Structure 1
Amino acid sequence: MAKEQKARAKKEQAKGKAKEAMGRAVGNERMTAEGRAEQGKGDMRQAKEKTKDAFKH
């Protein structure tokens, strides 16, 4: 399950980064903000998984 969550975090980060870049390219601030939010969500998920791994080992 942890591998799935880590992969999901990476996917959210990549999706957010792409959305942010697209928002900047077209001048859409809302899309840029949504992209940053998705990146943050992915970052939080990744941090949670790293914390869980630290306590496992």
Structure 2
Amino acid sequence: MGADDKASNKIDDLGGKAKEGLGKVTGDKDTENEGKFDQAKSSIKDAGEKIKDAFKN
């Protein structure tokens, strides 16, 4: 996995956590759910990159 991919996934994850937290504080369930979705999407991308790396070796 490239450093750019790792950084991008980490930024997506942190952004998702921020959205989720903002949603919880403001009581906005849509924003909270968007944050959870962003975190899940980041985890899936990270897992995909790890699988690609495993097949390269």
TM-score when scaled to structure 2?
Answer: 0.89
Matches of residues 10-29 of structure 1 in structure 2 within 5 Å? 10-29=10-29
Q: Distance in 1 between matches of 2:19 and 2:10?
A: 14
Unmatched tracts of structure 2, length 5 or more: none
Unmatched tracts of structure 1, length 5 or more: none
Name the residue aligned to 1:42.
Answer: 42
Give the aligned length.
57
Name the residue aligned to 2:3.
Answer: 3
Aligned identity (percent) is: 40
Deviates more, 1:23-32 or 1:1-10: 1-10
